[in-house]
Chains A and B, each alone.
Chain A
């Protein structure tokens, strides 16, 4: 039986070797000879041997063409499959949810029992495969026949839930790739806790593969959980650590450990006790405050049962350097793995550097005085001219203030760019020197017009712009009232970039203060200098407060790169920067020699990963995905809708099964024909070479 008989037209191509052989006979290779005077034309009688070789070569070529054509025509033979395997075999895909939430209570025990019962229930003709699913899907075993069920049981005994997150959408959409397309009747047993947060954004992603029957094995129960959602430095005070606690409100103790030493602890109020007293004293060195989230009025709004609780640890006196912070909830609840939270905080030296055209200029003095007036944090202020900047180690400063960035030359600009991208903070102003450039250094802004916004300004009090809008919620502007009364005679009009935050805007729409992130650093750009000819900002009472808040904002401790389990670790390691990486247990997970070839490393366990390289150690905090700590279950309606997504059971039979029902299947022969053709293709040159060798042969 031929599936594509039209390809048989290709057999006409057999005429080609026939013609070629005839042509070859007519076009014999000529041998030059001195003279034909003594020669006479002969009647050629080819020897039987040569004729045979000629015919063999011709037959080989014809057979090669015929085989290729037949392969394309896809001949098939009726093939009857064994009725037992074709009709009764079922593939059971046993998928165990190994996400963090499965560690809650007895969920994992129930899941293993369920899987074991499924394995025990396999029939003789059945097959089964064991799969785990969290942030990655792993086929642990299979598919194996029922006779090898012991292998499944052994593999099942070695499984444990991880700290990663499962997304049902990822699991279902990837299923066809690891189940395979050539499969018998398939039942997809998903043993899970039906966690609400595991549902995908698009419900359609839950649809099982075509022809696969989904069986949801629910091993979850209703449960409450409390966990630490985040830890960070308070926006209001660099010495205050803010801990956000999610989930249920339970009477538990928050324990703060800093660099391996317990620093503070506080007992949280239970649900129904109302918002915690903001001024409640702490039990140890720190002070704990419980307050509603930002934007909520703490006096009017009580803490809702499902809202986060915020706890503030003050007076921590974080010194310069990297700090490992662990916040733990005690005592352990039913899901103890999410009780600790790990964080790394970096704090730079409390030093500020003011850069200007020269270190004694008026604007440099203004800035130095304003920054020096700060009390919290108290900064040591140094001044320098732009020319002497490259002699300083900028990494020693927590903030740089640049007065008219146009005074910088190419080398100092490169130095500052590296400082910024490495996580530094810069406050800079634009002045007459910056306005002469096509592109503003550091911020890369482009001038809106070649002429300064100064044409209408004069010494009689006319102003070029007034402040129209101030983003007062920003930490740098929180305590700076009165921007609208500052007179700006001139300023440098720039066009904000797409990822800029315009904090203060003039009436004509041009920005006065822009926040921009460059690499890991922060940059505040003031489009007017302190020059009295440009504005009266320097003599306005607002100035000192603004500089103080801006410096406090810029010097606040920044959270170092953190990650969640299952995500790529931001090690910063690449082929150029070799390093070793150790996991929280101290085991080396990336050797120095592997750095060149492997730079992506997935976080597997919670804790602190250590990156050693370049003469220093960096820490990366890895936590469980907080969505796994939310144990809310999918609503029953949602589960029912998921069950309805799958195709009817009648349609679960695969094409192979349908063919088995209809009668004998067809066995494709084209692979064998193609194999034979390839073999002939190798033999043909050998025969042809032998034939041609004889034809050209002349012995001396």
Chain B
């Protein structure tokens, strides 16, 4: 009897105790892949996908040299998932991402774990991985590359990312287009505190240029279901503004507005053909990774 995924995979708290980000990514992904192999519903990577003649532009690493030796014809052997997709990881490192309530990891930490895991997963597929760290501007850019050592560069950049200033997703997406000329898969990891309509408008050009976009909406458990028993004076981590809020509002009005906001960003994502997944910082990474693989299979 196999264990359930939730018990098999490491929680964010455990991952936070690991020494470095590469180890976090390797631990999370390897555990996740073991779960996949035992699952009858998913096939991944090593299953034969196609066998076709070599055309110019194909990666010579995929040439089936055994067939070439027998027939002197050059064929390409492809497996499922080896579709040579560029992965852009867009990491929101704004001040709001530094929020942490009672969980061990902050949203930014969780986002870094997720980004590292995605990068590691892509690297295993020999997919080029690029990274953009942003808040109200692009703070770090690393072009996609599949060369050996590029993963270390990405992980190092992720490791050094800290919570910065305010968020401006719409503004940043204008700049992303300058860096993402070739189509690929764009993983946006953010808490998406922005206007969904403006976000949709900003993402649209990327979608039109052929990018497949996936949003990882990272939220803290206290943001999803706040539990204050008394009135509380909140201070915005980005603007510094304060606001006294009653527990009654947090129970009713806030949840309603949050649901509306989540629905709004889902609609905005859907309008541009993007996928969106809500990632709680107290949950393991597997849910997000599964959604990522499913999304990748579709595209």
- Mark A residues whose CB is within 8 Å of B: 28-46, 50, 694-695, 697-700
Contact = CB atoms under 8 A, between A and B. Distances in A.
Chain B, interface SS category: mixed
B231 A31 contact: no
9 contacts: A31-B234, A34-B193, A35-B96, A35-B191, A35-B193, A36-B243, A40-B245, A40-B254, A698-B227
Interface stretch (B99-107, B134-142, B270-278): B99-107
B227 A699 contact: yes
Nearest to B236: A36
Contact of B245 (A39, A695, A700): A39
Interface in B18-50: none
A31 B241 CA distance: 11
Contacts of A40: 243, 245, 249, 253-254, 257
Contact of A32 (B223, B227, B235, B261): B235
Contacts of B241: 36
B235 A33 contact: yes
Nearest to B231: A44
Nearest to A695: B230
B230 A34 contact: no
A45 B191 contact: no
Given A41-B244, A699-B229, 7 more contacts: A32-B99, A32-B235, A34-B193, A36-B236, A37-B193, A39-B249, A700-B227
B249 A30 contact: no
B102 A700 contact: yes
Nearest to A694: B230
A41 B235 CA distance: 12
B155 to A, nearest CB: 25
B207 interface: no
B263 interface: no
Contacts of A698: 101-102, 222, 227-229, 232
Contacts of B257: 38, 40
A28 to B, nearest CB: 4
Contacts of B286: none
Give the interface size class of chain B.
Answer: 35 or more
A34 B244 contact: no
A45 B243 contact: no
A32 B98 CA distance: 10
A587 B222 CA distance: 83
Nearest to A38: B257
B232 A31 contact: yes
Contacts of A42: 231, 244-246, 248-249
Contacts of B242: 30
B246 A36 contact: no
Given A32-B235, A700-B102, A41 B245 contact: yes
**3 closest pairs, A vs B, by CB?**
A700-B102, A42-B246, A34-B99
B14 interface: no
B233 interface: yes
B233 A29 contact: yes
B230 A50 contact: yes
B238 interface: yes
A33 B227 contact: no
B202 interface: no
Contacts of B191: 34-35
Contact of B243 (A39, A694, A697, A699): A39
B73 to A, nearest CB: 58
Contact of A34 (B107, B229, B245, B261): B107
Contacts of B67: none
A697 B229 contact: yes
B258 interface: yes
A36 B193 CA distance: 9
B237 interface: yes
Contacts of B244: 28, 41-42, 44
A699 B238 CA distance: 24
A694 B231 CA distance: 10
Interface string B256-270: 011001000000000
B249 A33 contact: no
Nearest to B194: A37
B268 to A, nearest CB: 15
B171 to A, nearest CB: 16
A40 B258 CA distance: 12
A35 B230 contact: no
A27 to B, nearest CB: 9
A43 B234 contact: no
Contacts of B249: 39-40, 42
B2 interface: no
A30 B221 contact: no
B111 to A, nearest CB: 13
